[in-house]
Structures are given as C-alpha cells and as structure tokens.
Structure 1
Amino acid sequence: MATLEQRLGVRLLVRTTRRLSLTEEGADFYQSCVRVLAELDEAEARAASRRREVAGTLRISLPVSFGRRWVLPQLLEMTKRHPLLRLDIRLSDRAVDLLEEGIDMVVRLGEPGNSAFLSSRCLGHQRVVTCASPAYLAERGSPACAADLAAHDCLTFAGEGGIVPWTLPGETAGTTTVAIDGRHTISDGEALRMAAIDGLGIAQLPTWLVADALGSGALIAVLAPQGVPGTPIQAMWPTTRDLAPKIRATVDELLAHFLPLAPWDSPPPHGPP
C-alpha cells in the first residue's frame, strides 16, 4: 500500500495503532476501482455470452445469381431467429481474399482450392443441364449426341478464365468435357438463361438456375435430361481454433437446407408421390 501511495502521490489510508481508515482520496480511489472492476466483469460476461450466442456482424460473400436465389433467403430467415445478428452481404462472382478483405465466410461454386488458412464444408454439387426453348427445338431439331451440336446455335458462358467448356455424357459411360464454339457468348448466368428461353440457341446451365424453367416447360433438356454432375458448392471461412457462433450457425443452416437433396432438385411439396 505504501508503494501505491508513493506512485499516486497521495495518502490513501490513515494509520493508527488501533485501526486503518480511508482518506478522502483513498475513498474516491476505491470507488473508482470498484467501478472499473464492475465494468471489466460486465465486459467479460458479454464476451462469454457472445461465444455462445449468434450475434455480431456476419460479413459474407456470395456468388451473385446463386447467392440471390438460394442463400440470401436463408440468411434473412436466420436474422428472424437471431435478432442480435447483423448481415453484411457482398454479392460478387470474383474470388475474394477472406483474410485480406476481412470476410467472415464465403459461398463458392467450384473446387475450394489449396489454402492452409481456410476451412470448408461441401454444401452439395451442382448439376448442369443442356437445354433450349421449345420454339428453338421445333425449328432446328433436338441434338441426339454431342457431335450434333456443331449444327446448332450454342450459347456459351464466359468466366474469368475464358469460355467455359461443356460437360456432356460420354459415348459409353461417364462424362466428357467439350470445347463449344458458341454463336453467342454471355458472361452472366441470368442473361444466358434469358437468351435460351428467348430461343437464341442451346445453352448449358446449372439446374439451380433453370429448374423452374424446366418445370414450367420454358426450357427443355436435351442429350441428358437429368443433367450431368458439375462442380461442388462450398462454404469457406478462415481456420480458427474457436469458431464464432455466427459462422457455425450459418454453416449449419446451409447444410440443413442444401443436403441431402438440393431444394432446386427436390420434388414439389404437393406433387405426385
């Protein structure tokens, strides 16, 4: 106590042979310490609570079309169950750098890549279907095999790495990758879907983007009516020893929604048995 008094430059205690009592400065210093310790206890309690509670801002990056159609509705539902959760949603088709850009998690279409600093869970796999409008097929006919595509107007998708080849059924089994010489090339999936529905040609699109159009008859699948396997759908986040509840809850929500059967591949809730 003498050392503390020397450091503060004031007397904190009145000392007699029979008792100790606080000076006015000592009583004021004591009350300040009590307030500081109470605030520290409260801060520790809040931090412990946040370790268990889904709270704070979730910064998440989503592919534009897939995120808008299939992930965003689930995130909005989550906020109704977790009122302390705030969303910061970035819709972008570019491969963001989570650590550099301060992103909590991403949903990506494709292989996760090789990163020792990221954890991932597979939310399922895309299927791609080759399809065209009924009007186009009525006018130009339906291709019976991959070789027939050379006589058709094909609509190709341009990604960051160039024109994306098509995945088609193999001659005997499995699948094969084919470079397509398209009449029109479009770098947006929604626009490519629109062009196919409008009768401009044959396109290859993921079922999550065209399931409704296939169901309504606006598009008709050719070559492989059920589609062929495509790339995985991944949830990814920076690897940490203690995973934040907001990330854990979001991953669990998406896993429950997309697995074991993706909602766009599920039968209608009141359809035939």
Structure 2
Amino acid sequence: MTDRLDGVSTFVQVVDAGSFTLAAERMHLTRSAVGKVITRLEARLGVRLLQRTTRSQTLTEAGQAYYDRCVRALAELEAAEADLESERTEPRGRLRVSVPVAFGHQCVAPVLFELARKHPQLQIDISFTDRAVDLIEEGFDLAVRIGDLHDSTSLVARRLGVQHMSIGAAPSYLAKYGLPVDIDDLHGHAGIAYSRGGVLAPWRVRDGEGQPQELRIAPQLSLDDVQAIAGAGIAGFGLVQLPCWLLSRHVQTGELAFVRERCGVRAQDIHAVWPKTRYLPLKTRCAVDALVAEIPEMIRA
C-alpha cells in the first residue's frame, strides 16, 4: 500500500526553504537524497511540481495548488499531535535552544540542566551565541534574547526580566586608587572596555539627576566578552561595567565590589522567544515556564 504522505513534508520543506540545498541542511540530508524524494513524489502523482534549473526553482501551477493543500494537511496533523501531547504530563523529544554566551552560561543553562534532570525523555540542545539567530530558518524551538526584538512579528515573546548595567572593581584596585563617590570621581580611572570589531563601546551612565553622561576612562585592556572583562576586573586592571546579574555574582564571592549600581543609561529587557504556532509543544512550554520561574530571581541584583 502506498504511503500517501511519503515525500509531502520534504516537498513543503523544499518550497519553504527556496532551495534543495537549504532544505537538505535543515533536514540533515544530502541534496541528492532530497532530490530523489521529490522525483519519487512527482512520479507517484504523475505531475511536475517544481520547475528546476541549476540556479533556481519555481512552483508549477499544479505544484502551487498541491503545496497549499499540503500545508493545510500538515497543520492539521500538527494540531492532532499537539492534542495528543497535551494529554501527556511528561515533555519529550529534542528541544533546540539558542542563548547569549555569558547569560546562557551563567543563568539559562543551569535552569535547562535542572529541567533535563527532571525529565529524562527531554533532549536539550543548547547553542551559545550572541548572534540573533533566525529561529525558523535555523530550526530552533526557543531562544533567549537581551535587547530589542527586531523580528517580533514572527515570534511570541515572554519577558524574563531587565538587565541593568553597574560599575564595579576589585577590592585591591579600590584600596590602591580609592572608591569613586561621585560621577566626576570616575573620570580618569583605569577601566576595562568592551570592544567589538576593534571599536570601543563608550561608558554612558546616569548622574544623580538622571542625566546621561559619557565617562572618560583610560582602558589598558579592551575585550569582546563580558566574562573576560569580569576576569580582568578581578585581576585589578581597573573599573568594569557589567550586567548586574554578572557583577553581583562576583560581589557575593568578594572578588569584586560595587562602585555604582544600576547606573547604565539604557536597561535592556530579557525575553524568551519562540516561533508563532497555533499549538505550543509541551517541551517548549515547560522550558519557558522554568525560565520564567527561575530567571527573575537570578538577575535581581
């Protein structure tokens, strides 16, 4: 008996991806394997679905009509599976999550590790990157973002908290150079700068009246990783401007001390985001709920 769904999902993936090569990458197959699936599907249907050249592909008229119906059929299957899954109490399957490097290591990963411990049938794949990944294009179920959500029209977001910037320094540095009390006292201090592509990020803070000021610090070191900046601060190279959740951890151990708390010009929202869908899989919902329950307390400085 012929499986009437054989090749349908692959066909939809090819159309959505816009190319056989990209579809193959998403499905972890070779391009030739994907091509053979489409060829068998066209042979079974007795009609050409795609006009293919070496550089492009386009749907035929019949292919467009078939694609539209396939999308609806797969959506119904997804809904049916979601209804079955909603009756389960145990999340399972593979969950792909993208997280910022430092925040991911310090805050998100521990929450997901505990989730994996509680649910042995849940397989969690965490990717650490400060790049805003395309969740749909790159096949992620969930991401944590700090800052503006530029692709919010295609995503659902759940706020996890707010990231404030604070200034700190090693006790040894403060013992040698003194504790700055006012904003003006910070000018001229040694500092560890954040840099990206060789460009130093300025230190902008709010004064006692809430007005923004740019600090004139003297950086001997510039780094593109906030965890490395914290390490340089602990080593006594100068003041550090760090997210509150990271600085407070080192303050608790005595490695750093607060110089000025929550003084950054612009706080940034932290969100969990996932692709819009009619039915949120249980594995994703459980991960989001865990982050919402744990992250706010972890970033409270």
- Normalising by structure 1, report the TM-score: 0.72
Distance 1:180 1:85, change over 3 A: farther
Question: Out of 241, 246, 261, which is 2:278 matched to?
Answer: 241
CA distance in 2, matches of 1:140, 1:158: 25
Structure 2: 5+ residue stretches without partners: 1-78
Match of 2:71 in 1: none
Mean alpha-carbon deviation: is it higher for 145-154 or for 245-254?
Answer: 145-154
Match of 1:35 in 2: none
Match of 2:212 in 1: 176
Match of 2:191 in 1: 154
Letter in 1 for 2:175: A
Give the superposition deviation at 1:133: 0.9
CA distance in 1, matches of 2:252, 2:185: 25
Match of 1:231 in 2: 268
CA distance in 2, matches of 1:253, 1:152: 41
2:165 is aligned with 1:128: yes
Match of 2:248 in 1: 211
After superposition, the C-alpha distances for 1:87-136 in whole angstroms (9 at most, x for unaligned) are: 11111111111111111110112122243101111100112210111111
Question: Out of 137, 161, 167, which is 2:174 matched to?
Answer: 137
Number of corresponding residues:
220
Which protein is richer in helix relative to its size? Answer: 2
The residue matched to 2:195 in structure 1 has which SS?
strand
The 8 Å contact of residues 95 and 141 in structure 2, kept in 1 or not, is answered as yes
Give the superposition deviation at 1:149: 2.9
The 8 Å contact of residues 161 and 299 in structure 2, kept in 1 or not, is answered as no
Mean alpha-carbon deviation: is it higher for 160-169 or for 70-79?
Answer: 160-169
Match of 2:85 in 1: 50
CA distance in 1, matches of 2:231, 2:158: 31
Letter in 2 for 1:196: G
The 8 Å contact of residues 165 and 177 in structure 1, kept in 2 or not, is answered as no
Mean alpha-carbon deviation: is it higher for 201-210 or for 46-55?
Answer: 46-55
Match of 1:3 in 2: none
CA distance in 1, matches of 2:213, 2:138: 34
Distance 1:177 1:59, change over 3 A: farther
CA distance in 2, matches of 1:56, 1:161: 42
Give the superposition deviation at 1:48: 4.3
Question: Out of 79, 84, 99, which is 2:121 matched to?
Answer: 84
CA distance in 2, matches of 1:126, 1:58: 26
Distance 1:55 1:110, change over 3 A: same
- Normalising by structure 2, report the TM-score: 0.65
After superposition, the C-alpha distances for 1:191-210 in whole angstroms (9 at most, x for unaligned) are: 10010011001010112212
Give the superposition deviation at 1:256: 0.9
Q: Which has the higher contact order (CA 8 A, sep 6+)?
A: 1
Displacement over 6 Å in runs of 4+: 44-47
Mean alpha-carbon deviation: is it higher for 158-167 or for 137-146?
Answer: 158-167
Give the superposition deviation at 1:177: 5.4
The 8 Å contact of residues 82 and 281 in structure 2, kept in 1 or not, is answered as no
Letter in 1 for 2:300: D
Letter in 1 for 2:108: V
Match of 1:71 in 2: 108
Question: Out of 193, 197, 221, which is 2:258 matched to?
Answer: 221
Matches within 5 A, 1:34-45: none
After superposition, the C-alpha distances for 1:155-180 in whole angstroms (9 at most, x for unaligned) are: 111247943333423241x3525365
